[in-house]
Amino acid sequence: MTDQINIHTHGSAGHLSLNRPKALHALTLEMCHAMSGALATWATDDAVKTVIIDHAEGRGFCAGGDIAFLRNSALNDGGTSGRQFFHDEYQLNHQLFTYPKPVVAFMDGITMGGGVGISQPAKYRVATEHTKFAMPETGIGLFPDVGGGWFLSRLGGRMGQFLALTGARLDGAECLWSGLATHYLASENLAEAKARIAAGHEAGGVLAALSETPPPARIEGNAVRIARHFASDRFEDILASLEAEDSEWSIKELATLRTKSPQTCKVALRQLAQSAQLSDFAENMRMEYRIASRVLTRPDFAEGVRAVIVDKTGNPQWNPATPEGVTDDLIDAIFAPLPENEEWKPL
């Protein structure tokens, strides 16, 4: 067991509470294993009716995965320990997606990367006025993994492609509007919601009773533009579409995309296009594990983390440096099957 996560049962609720406040509750391998173990136990425990996932304290629900650990793996062990992290984290994502009991994720605060992976599979996803949701991986040469291909590709109006490429942050109202959240509660009512669920009340009814109308979703005002400019699965087409419109919004989004890894942007577009065709979440996770195994040791990941997180210079030198330099052959190689004994498998 690890002190990085609090695991309890209260009444009829199993409770997983992330507890790394200084790291905004970013997931470690130990946390993933502890959560998987508790979920396996509760799945056959008749006393546990519902599972609650939240964070113990601080302003983040979960800021992602252990990026420093992954970069260290890429630089020092050829990605071996990083692949192990992805493999087991993805098993947790799949376990939550297929869980036989209702799961309620309280996305109260920063919900990014790995935090998306443990909240989006939940039946109930609760946003608040503190929610900041994003998949910012293209900015560090990674890609929107942890099931991101599945969830983002199923949003309407090319919203998923926009979020995957730009790393745009959504607030709680925008999460509810886009379908990433199922309910919107004031943060002051979360304790009451959890208490009622633990007391045995049905989670959906509890959340409906305590829900409130959020402020207007700002992103709705740009929905038509997003659907138009991000319509293509070719990154070059999206850039050209934005370049052709001389508006403050398009100039800003184009500037944002110019800072991202061209390789990762092309990976994300293919990832979402392929995931949209899949009918099985396990197939999606198998695909994402193939991508992760390759992208982890490609130049852009270590360089992106250096520029954005380690040195904070904000000037990553991407390789390839341009969208045109990222060939179809390179993307094909990133998506290619692994040797059978290395492929991802569910728990």
Strand partners of residue 97: none
Question: pLDDT tens for residues 4-17?
Answer: 999 999 999 999 99
* Beta pairing class for 132-134 and 170-171: antiparallel
Is residue 150 in a domain? Answer: yes
Instruction: Please check the confidence at residue 52 and state whether its pLDDT lies above 70.
Output: yes
Which residue do the tokens 């297929």 mark?
A: 98
Instruction: Please check the confidence at residue 88 and state whether its pLDDT lies above 80.
Output: yes
Question: pLDDT tens for residues 170-183?
Answer: 999 999 999 999 99
Is residue 347 in a domain? Answer: no
Which residue do the tokens 């943060």 mark?
A: 187
47-to-9, 13, 40, 199, 310 alpha-carbon distances in Å: 9, 8, 14, 12, 45
- Active-site residue, selected from the candidate residues 14, 60, 64, 65: 65
Q: What does 66-115 look like in DSSP terms, one character per residue?
A: -HHHHHHHHHHSTTHHHHHHHHHHHHHHHHHHT-SS-EEEEE-SEEETHH
Active site residue 89: no
Q: At what angle do helices 248-258 and 235-244 cross, to 10 degrees?
A: 150
In which band, very low, low, confident or very high, does the pLDDT at 80 lie, cut at 50, 70 and 90?
very high
Q: Phi and psi for 2 in degrees, rounded to 5? A: -125, 150
Is residue 300 in a domain? Answer: yes
Looking at residue 90, what is its pLDDT? 98
Provide the number of structural domains found in the chain.
1
Number of H helices, E strands in the chain: 16, 10
Is residue 305 in a domain? Answer: yes
Active site residue 65: yes
Give the domain range for residue 71.
Answer: 5-342
CA distance 54 to 18: 6
In which band, very low, low, confident or very high, does the pLDDT at 1 lie, cut at 50, 70 and 90?
low
CATH number at residue 237: 3.90.226.10
Would you say how long the chain is, in residues? 347
Active site residue 137: yes
Is residue 177 in a domain? Answer: yes
Query: Is residue 153 left, alpha or beta, with left meaning phi > 0 and alpha meaning psi from -120 to 50?
Result: alpha
Instruction: Please check the confidence at residue 308 and state whether its pLDDT lies above 80.
Output: yes
Q: Are the C-beta atoms of 86 and 293 separated by less than 8 Å?
A: yes
Q: Which helix (H) or strand (E) holds 5?
A: strand 5-10
* CA-closest candidate to residue 326, choices 264, 248, 249: 264
3-state secondary structure 259-309: CCCHHHHHHHHHHHHHHCCCCCHHHHHHHHHHHHHHHCCCHHHHHHHHHHH
Question: pLDDT tens for residues 36-51?
Answer: 999 999 999 999 999 9
CA distance 119 to 126: 9
Question: pLDDT tens for residues 99-134?
Answer: 999 999 999 999 999 999 999 999 999 999 999 999
- Active-site residue, selected from the candidate residues 54, 66, 108, 137: 137
Which whole number is the average pLDDT over 21-41? 96
Instruction: Please check the confidence at residue 87 and state whether its pLDDT lies above 80.
Output: yes
Contacts of 142 (CB under 8 A, 6+ apart): 264, 295, 301, 304
Question: pLDDT tens for residues 190-207?
Answer: 999 999 999 999 999 999
Which residue do the tokens 């006025």 mark?
A: 129
Instruction: Please check the confidence at residue 313 and state whether its pLDDT lies above 90.
Output: yes
Q: What is the SS3 assignment for 124?
A: strand
Which whole number is the average pLDDT over 60-78? 93
CA distance 230 to 227: 6
- Active-site residue, selected from the candidate residues 89, 108, 145, 174: 145
Active site residue 115: no
Is residue 163 in a domain? Answer: yes
